[in-house]
Amino acid sequence: MKRLRAISLLLLSVALVAGCAVFKGKSDRRSASDAQLVQPKTVKYAGTPSDAVSMVYTTKRELALTFNGMADKAAMKRLLDQLDTYKIKATFFLPGMRVAEEPDIAKLILARGHEIESNTLNRLDMKKLPYEQIVNEIKLSRDVIQKKTGVKPVYVRTMLGDYTDNVRLAAAQQGMEAVIGASLFLHNWENETPLQKSNYIRKYINRGGIIALDTQENKIIAESVKLIAEGAKNVGYQFVRLDKLMRDGGKRRPLEQIPGWNAARINTNYAAATYNVMYNKQDDPKKEVVLSFDDWGTDYTITKLLDVLAAYKVKASFFLRADGVEKNPNLARAIAEGGHDVGNHTYSHPVITTITPAQIQQEIVKAHKIITEAIQQQPTMLFRPPTGVVDESTLKVVGATGYRNIANFDVDPVDFNRSRTSAQILQTVKEDTKNGSVVLLHMLDDTQTIQALPSIITTLRGQGYTFVRMSELMGLAPNGQQTS
């Protein structure tokens, strides 16, 4: 029965596209199989495939909330009312079949100021379909939505947001600008606590992120939307429609097109390599100090740190753990745009004295490439060893890669320890800082560093200190190379 209904709707879709009735008179009457016989065979597209987008490259504080499928009218109205409550404009990926069935729901979505795009015609598993059927699923959905609503979709998403090369080619063949995935596809909660749910959402509130929920599969969509709205508000980010997010975003240049992408290289000739390591600037006549931040965290933490630094007009030095940057390049770019040093803290944060020389260099070079591509420029050529532990042999191995300037530290308030209070962090910094000091802080989640930072800045300024970047303390050029 369902199959017959689907065939009927498909014929209806074809008729809508053609602008005529399926059955007009005897001369025009023909079966579905007859219609298929006269369809020209689809030739596989040989041009450039449509873009595949799961996150938009932007440092604007915005992201998109998107929905797949079309639930019944009552459920959709409740969802739209909730979005109004949180003042969210969203993007709905609608199946062409459902729009053909209930165009009034699609029109209501538009009337509320939301965006409509295509969720294909029947939400079939595109990985299992022949190319010609993929083309038809995309084409008919687009045309039905346009016929019923007056809006022509330019983006397409499969039921689960996955895609293949054939989907991208078929989308391009039908003039679709992009195949859209998601930075987070939120399914039903299981037995998570409220805190676990909140922390999970916080992890995916990213600049340029695309969050997806399914209106038919998600049984607790109201709770999910509430958590997502609160998560964005806590970070200070705004939900915008996907079309705006895409307009505001840019395209990242491939790694090899960025000057300095190969400034770090594997170099096994490290026995005679030189290096320059600094813990502080001893006997510095100036009352200057470096605030440095290691590791990685969520937008919630790092954006708040950046906001404090901007409010107090402080430039700092950030040493990025690249496996985090790899997942969230927009945040790394935001650090660079803030005018801070962006240095190398390895890919996966090993203690470098415990791994082989080959592994050390692989960690550094891989991190360099990921950070370079994320920020679209050469990073500051400064290396901060995880935990600060080094010896002469490892320093030579590091220096041989091109990172010959190693930035260590002399003030460690152990802020990464989540039991340390902001007052304790401040007290250590206050007691241990002297002219030319390098203060080690972290950008980890759920520590008291954000709370301590304003007091650290005002206290040190009150003692007459000025803040410089590590590159400045070491007398380096903007790209981190020695000036003399």
Find residue 318's DSSP bridge partners.
293, 342
Domain with CATH 3.20.20.370 in the chain: 51-248, 256-473
Q: What is the pLDDT of residue 432?
A: 97
- Tell me how far apart the alpha carbons of residues 421 and 439 are, in angstroms, rounded to a whole number: 17
Quick one: pLDDT at residue 10? 53
Measured distance CA(146)–CA(39) in Å, rounded = 21
Question: In the chain, which residues have pLDDT < 50?
Answer: 1-4, 6-7, 15-38, 483-484
**pLDDT the model gives residue 36:** 44
The pLDDT assigned to 42 comes to 79
Instruction: Determine the residue type at 249.
Output: G
pTM: 0.89
Q: What is the pLDDT of residue 283?
A: 85
Specify the pLDDT at position 31.
42
Give the fold, CATH level 3, of 51-248. TIM Barrel (3.20.20)
Tell me the pLDDT tens digit for each residue of 130-164: 999 999 999 999 999 999 999 999 999 999 899 99
Asked if 115 and 246 count as a contact pair (C-beta separation under 8 A), the reply is no
Residue 480 is predicted with a pLDDT of 57
Q: For 97-139, write each residue's pLDDT tens digit.
A: 999 999 999 999 999 999 999 999 999 999 999 999 999 999 9
- What's the Rg (C-alpha) of the chain? 27
Evaluate the CA torsion angle 87, 91, 96, 97 in order and state its sign: negative
Pick 256-473's CATH classification: 3.20.20.370, 3.90.870.30, 3.30.1490.20, 3.40.630.40.
Answer: 3.20.20.370
In this predicted model, what pLDDT tens digit does every residue of 175-212 receive, in sequence order? 999 999 999 999 999 889 999 999 999 999 999 999 99
